[in-house]
């Protein structure tokens, strides 16, 4: 899974000279330089403090802006036990985000808790609904959240209809079984319709964690396209420890951009700055298995993120989002929304702020 420096260098050396010699207007840039800050509201409510690279206290949103971030992402859960990341708290955080001048991406999980490739469970209120009912649910819920955001002057610039829906969402009704994409497609179409009915200019993203291979990406996006699904941006997750080499990432981005004719964004990526653990919750990614032989240090984290941005840019992507850079270990801001006080943070070694809240001085989002 891990690329050699020789292979990686081959990609960079092959592509970078073209960017240097091409006309300035032809050079690809990352216009969406994003961060998922879904846990930040809770951290701040608990008294978390953030510091710039010099160690001076500062507003975390201002720190991210100074690092080059121009787009923020918020997940939304229907009725989470913790209350955080529900409609009310998303509306509140959206006001702060827009007031700070960021663009806003809303990530619909269509669940009361985490939805990802391994779990896509309906919210409890929809648990016994038929596929037909779920289509109505998706439309109404998407439209309701979008119009509530619009009404307070924080119209989302983009929404995701589902989160990492590699094999569907709202299981079992919307799960892709035996290559049958029709049920999932019927749900995605309702999400698209609701978003455009709310605001025609809001982009609709379809997000999978299929940066691992062209075969998986084509299987999914070919499948929904064949069912008549429309979307505006193809969004992928890329974590090097799970999704392979940067050379492979380059190939997948280039392929899906060409194949579907839509902008491509890396909606999630991250890298550890330490192998240590700040709390009693085991780290999701230990950091002991290196990618590209890069150590789990502040400099290493910055280097890997820079290489991901370079790869995405050279392959023709328009954006890269870091997942939960502000989620350092704060007691009471746990991993499990059903036990937010009792669980720890499995991402404390992946944030770009250390355990005292100081930002990585080496890491930047770059156009």
Catalytic residues: 164, 268
Q: What is the DSSP-derived secondary structure letter of residue 289? A: S
Q: Which two tokens stand for residue 305?
A: 């993120």
Start-to-end Cα distance in the chain = 28
Are 259 and 253 in contact by the 8 Å Cβ rule? The answer is no
Peptide bond into 107 cis (omega under 30): no
Q: Are the C-beta atoms of 240 and 246 separated by less than 8 Å? A: yes
Q: Are 277 and 283 in contact (CB under 8 A)?
A: yes
User: Considering just the CA atoms, what is the radius of gyration of the chain in Å?
Assistant: 20
* Integer angstrom CA distances of residue 83 from 40, 41, 88, 92, 195: 14, 11, 8, 13, 24
Q: 319 near 266, Cβ under 8 Å?
A: yes
User: Helices 246-260 and 298-315 sit at what angle, rounded to 10 degrees?
Assistant: 30
Distance CA 162, CA 53 (A): 35
């Amino acid at each position: 899974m891990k690329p050699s420096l020789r292979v990686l260098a081959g990609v960079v050396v092959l592509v970078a000279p073209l960017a240097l010699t091409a006309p300035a207007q032809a050079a690809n840039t990352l216009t969406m330089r994003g961060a998922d800050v879904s846990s930040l509201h809770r951290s701040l409510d608990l008294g978390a403090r953030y510091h710039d690279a010099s160690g001076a206290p500062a507003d975390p949103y201002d720190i991210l802006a100074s690092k080059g971030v121009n787009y923020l992402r918020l997940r939304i859960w229907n009725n989470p036990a913790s209350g955080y990341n529900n409609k009310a708290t998303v509306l509140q955080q959206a006001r702060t985000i827009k007031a700070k001048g960021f663009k806003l991406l809303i990530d619909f999980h269509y669940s009361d808790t985490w939805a990802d490739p391994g779990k896509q469970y309906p919210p409890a209120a929809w648990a016994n609904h038929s596929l037909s009912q779920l289509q109505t649910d998706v439309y109404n819920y998407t439209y309701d959240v979008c119009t509530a955001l619009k009404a307070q002057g924080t119209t989302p610039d983009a929404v995701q209809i589902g989160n990492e829906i590699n094999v569907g969402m709202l299981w079992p009704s919307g799960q892709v079984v035996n290559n049958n994409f029709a049920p999932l497609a019927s749900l995605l179409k309702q999400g698209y319709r609701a978003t455009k009915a709310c605001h025609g200019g809001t982009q609709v993203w379809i997000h999978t964690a299929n940066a691992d291979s062209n075969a998986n990406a084509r299987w999914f996006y070919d499948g929904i396209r064949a069912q008549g699904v429309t979307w505006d941006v193809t969004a992928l997750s890329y974590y090097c420890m799970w999704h392979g080499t940067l050379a492979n990432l380059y190939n997948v981005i280039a392929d899906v951009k060409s194949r579907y004719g839509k902008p491509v964004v890396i909606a999630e990526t991250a890298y550890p700055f330490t192998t240590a653990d700040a709390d009693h919750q085991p780290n999701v990614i230990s950091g002991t298995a290196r990618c590209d032989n890069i150590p789990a240090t502040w400099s290493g984290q910055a280097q890997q993120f820079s290489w991901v941005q370079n790869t995405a840019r050279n392959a023709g992507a328009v954006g890269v989002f870091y997942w939960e850079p502000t989620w350092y270990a704060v007691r009471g801001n746990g991993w499990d929304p059903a036990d937010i006080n009792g669980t720890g943070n499995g991402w404390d070694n992946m944030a770009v702020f250390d355990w005292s809240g100081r930002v990585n001085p080496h890491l930047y989002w770059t156009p």
